[in-house]
């Protein structure tokens, strides 16, 4: 009986932990918010004061591979993030940025 209670308790903790993780911010979203949103804005429209002053263009439909290249090597006034972010972080940010394109 005691073993059964322990099993149910462990299962309950696992279910609660899984539910909590689903509300957690994705890694790409967190990196975007900390490194990109100041210029590109929450929606990728470039409508922040910094974005407007640097004439940041809204995200356009492009492949994730193209986004990875731009994030890695930079473009125009956008700095390169190679060496500042890992390859995984760059891929996660590109994937998240891609969801902002309408």
> Domain 25-100 sits in which CATH superfamily?
Cytochrome c-like domain (1.10.760.10)
pLDDT at 18: 47
pLDDT at 8: 44
Structure token pair of residue 91: 């891929």
pLDDT at 31: 95
Rounded to whole angstroms, what are the CA distances from 98 to 7, 60, 66?
Answer: 42, 9, 11
pLDDT at 14: 53
pLDDT at 10: 47
Which ranges constitute the DSSP H helices of the chain? Answer: 2-23, 27-35, 37-40, 49-53, 64-73, 87-100
10-residue mean pLDDT series, the chain (102 residues): 55 48 70 95 94 90 90 94 96 93 78
């Amino acid at each position: 009986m005691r073993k059964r209670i322990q099993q149910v308790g462990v299962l309950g903790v696992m279910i609660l932990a899984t539910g909590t993780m689903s509300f957690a911010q994705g890694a790409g979203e967190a990196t975007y918010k900390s490194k990109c949103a100041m210029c590109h804005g929450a929606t990728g429209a470039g409508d922040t004061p910094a974005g407007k002053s640097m004439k940041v263009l809204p995200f356009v439909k492009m492949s994730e591979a193209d986004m990875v290249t731009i994030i890695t090597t930079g473009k125009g006034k956008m700095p390169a993030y190679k060496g500042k972010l890992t390859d995984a972080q760059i891929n996660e940010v590109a994937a998240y940025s891609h969801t902002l394109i309408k």
